[in-house]
Amino acid sequence: MALPALAQKSITSGALADTNGALALEIRSVFDPMPPTGYAPLRVVATNHTGNDHGWNFKIISQTQVFRAENQHHSRFQMIVPAGGTESAQFLVPLAVSYGETYGRTGQMLHIGLDVDGVGHRDFNEQSNSVYDFPSIAISKALADTNHSRLKDEVEKRMKSSSSRGGATSQFGSVYAAVDLPEDWLGLSGFDIIMMADTEWLSLKPVQRLAVIQWSRLGGQLDLYSTASPTFLTLGIPSENEGKFASLKAAILSWNGKDLDAEKTVARHWGSNMREKRLTEAYTGDTGIAPNKKPDWGLLESIGLRQFASWQVIVFLVVFGILVGPVNLFVLAPPGKRHKLFITTPLLSIGASLLMIVIILFQDGLGGIGARLVLVNVVPEETAAYVTQEQASRTGVLLSGSFEMKQPALVEPLALPDTPWVKLKKDSNSQPVQLSQEGRQRSGNFFQSRAEQGQSLRAVVSTRARLELKAGLTADAAPEIISALGFTVETLFYKDAKGATWQAKTPLATGQQVKLVSVPEAELRKACAEVAELSEGPIKQRIEALGNGALPRGSFVAVASAAPAFTLETLLSIRWNQDHVLVFGPVVQP
């Protein structure tokens, strides 16, 4: 039985259905167009009107085209649809990022291959475009219905006036219906900003609101538009404006319920940080960097410089050329015995290859070394920690580059400075990225042999970790802190309810208690600045802000050399010799 022909409509606007009704498939993207990074949530409904159970197997390839180089991210999903039944699911599809030269971008293509067990195979494609020099915004239908075209026109006007290198079309955001928002923050991970009306926010299910809050704690900006004057408290949003903590970025903006001021709205987001550029440019430093120049990214610098010994390659090739040429022709297979060339030449080639492998193993070894920066925002009232991790590594010989994540996480490669050891760059010399994800298994060129690479990771980790303020202390007594973090912190700062800064003068292990001493706020600023030097872009700014007054009263900042429960493990053959951990959040009051 062949799979019936499927009449295809745009994935972002409609359905895919067969002509005779025996098998029906609807695939609809929550966001139109899809974001340029992160995950794209696809809502899938499969109907099976045949008399047999069928497995529906989806192979999805997200692809970007840059200067004749294709960056791809592969993923697989499966549904079992019983006879006469209908099944629905939401696929979180990892998206390829436009690494490499920004000129010649042709947007993003989604290839969907469908195999129905015992029936047949069909392929579908969907093309989308986005603007490179403008943040990735998700705008709700309530805001977009009467404003989207004017917002797009304003973006186009600014693009032309600034000579921007934007994409093929000018866009203002990806339109979505609030009811369709995903229940997992990963489905929002490709956006810098989410815009919606406060009435839409209140209509969301609690799990959807939690997903948006988690996304915001990991770097997103939530803009809520209201015709009234609600507070974060009445909207059920934790906020530093309500005396809590500084990790959630949200704003309440006024509108008349119909029209947005296009100029002011675009101006509000023009020049904002963009996740796509953070991945493709923020860590690259100067283009054309000299082979032995110090990299700009502090974490990459911390693993040390390594010279590319090109002279060894030249010597090896010269020696091999002498052996396979004159020595082979006049000694091993002299005139009259030229038939020996059929034996000596392959043997010399095999011997040279084995020797090269031995030299590489001796010089580079197996596995690699690396350093990680782990930023942990502990939120006790949500029994969660929000982890942002950056890591840089240099590898020798890898027997495998595949790894499994223990928890759901977004793992994205970073373009690095142009050195002989770096393969992912921001110019046309960049190697195309070929990644794959199936469940929690990741493979592709996240890690490669004899290379330097970096990755950005984000995850929500369930935990009951916390710091507690000892009860029963008098108002003028020095605060005492009890740790339930699960790891030892070497440095601890606490800002009390009056705004005074306190520090622990000794390390604090979990289960222990320490009495703090008063210190100038400059000590906190210095400690945050030292950690911030290891990072780049928005993460660096965020760490610096903690030391420059952004830390709310009643909160702490701590520095540790290891936090196993919150460190996101990737390739096990990498020896992560340096872990730099900065953890912050509210102190639980008695």
Beta strand 86-94 pairing with 39-48: antiparallel
Q: 288 pLDDT band (50/70/90 cuts)? A: very low
Please say if the pLDDT value at position 12 is more than 60: no
The model's pLDDT over 235-271, given as tens digits with 9 standing for 90+, comes to 998 865 444 445 788 899 999 999 999 999 999 999 8
The model's pLDDT over 73-108, given as tens digits with 9 standing for 90+, comes to 999 999 999 999 999 999 999 999 999 876 656 678
Q: What pLDDT sits at residue 292?
A: 45
Residue reference for tokens 């800064």: 501
Question: Angle 92-94-100 (CA atoms, 0-180°, nearest 5)?
Answer: 160
Using CB atoms within 10 Å of the CB of residue 171, give its burial: 0 to 12 exposed, 13 to 18 middle, 19+ buried: buried
Q: What pLDDT sits at residue 289?
A: 40
Q: 142 pLDDT band (50/70/90 cuts)? A: very high
- Residue type present at position 72: Q
Please report which helix (H) or strand (E) contains residue 208, including its range: helix 206-217
- Residue type present at position 542: R
Segment 229-233 mean pLDDT: 89
Q: What pLDDT sits at residue 21?
A: 66
**DSSP output for 213-226:** HHHHHTT-EEEEEE
Share above pLDDT 90 across residues of the chain, in percent, rounded to a whole number: 59
Q: Could you give the CA distance from residue 375 to residue 385 in angstroms, rounded to a whole number?
A: 10
- Residue partners of 64: CB distance under 8 A and separation at least 6: 70, 71, 72, 96, 97, 98, 105, 106, 107, 108, 109
Q: Could you give the CA distance from residue 419 to residue 433 in angstroms, rounded to a whole number?
A: 17
The model's pLDDT over 291-324, given as tens digits with 9 standing for 90+, comes to 444 567 999 999 887 665 566 667 777 777 777 7
Closest C-alpha to 572, from 450, 440, 398: 398
- Residue partners of 438: CB distance under 8 A and separation at least 6: 75, 76
Q: Could you give the CA distance from residue 493 to residue 479 in angstroms, rounded to a whole number?
A: 11
Q: What pLDDT sits at residue 512?
A: 96
Query: Is the Cβ–Cβ distance between 448 and 402 less than 8 Å?
Result: no
Q: Could you give the CA distance from residue 556 to residue 494 in angstroms, rounded to a whole number?
A: 4
**DSSP output for 554-573:** TEEEEEES--TTT-----TT
Query: Is the Cβ–Cβ distance between 36 and 136 less than 8 Å?
Result: yes
Closest C-alpha to 444, from 430, 454, 434: 434
Closest C-alpha to 91, from 8, 15, 27, 37: 27
Segment 379-395 mean pLDDT: 95
Q: Could you give the CA distance from residue 297 to residue 387 in angstroms, rounded to a whole number?
A: 20
Q: 132 pLDDT band (50/70/90 cuts)? A: confident
Which two structure tokens, joined as six digits, stand for 442? Answer: 């990741």
Q: Could you give the CA distance from residue 136 to residue 272 in angstroms, rounded to a whole number?
A: 10
Query: Is the Cβ–Cβ distance between 497 and 554 less than 8 Å?
Result: yes
Q: Could you give the CA distance from residue 248 to residue 467 in angstroms, rounded to a whole number?
A: 20
Residues linked to residue 504 through DSSP beta bridges, in sequence order = 492
Number of neighbours of residue 3 by Cβ within 10 angstroms: 16
Please state the length of the chain: 590
Taking the model in full, what pTM does it have? 0.87
Closest C-alpha to 134, from 181, 96, 174, 95: 174
Please report which helix (H) or strand (E) contains residue 437, including its range: strand 434-438
Q: What pLDDT sits at residue 357?
A: 72
Residues linked to residue 369 through DSSP beta bridges, in sequence order = 394, 575
Domains, the chain: 6-128 (2.60.40.10), 137-280 (3.40.50), 366-590 (no CATH)
Segment 482-489 mean pLDDT: 97
The model's pLDDT over 18-77, given as tens digits with 9 standing for 90+, comes to 446 688 888 999 999 999 999 999 999 998 888 889 899 999 999 987 766 789 999 999
The model's pLDDT over 544-585, given as tens digits with 9 standing for 90+, comes to 999 998 888 899 999 999 999 999 999 999 999 999 999 999
Task: Give SS3 for 339.
Answer: helix
Q: Please, what's the largest Cα pairwise distance for the chain?
A: 103
What string of H, E and C letters represents the secondary structure of 225-262?
EECCCCCHHHHCCCCHHHCCCCCCEEEEEECCCCCCCH
Q: Could you give the CA distance from residue 190 to residue 29 in angstroms, rounded to a whole number?
A: 14
**DSSP output for 466-495:** -EEEPTT--TTSPPEEEE-SSS-BSEEEEE
Query: Is the Cβ–Cβ distance between 579 and 567 less than 8 Å?
Result: yes
The model's pLDDT over 271-285, given as tens digits with 9 standing for 90+, comes to 888 999 999 999 987
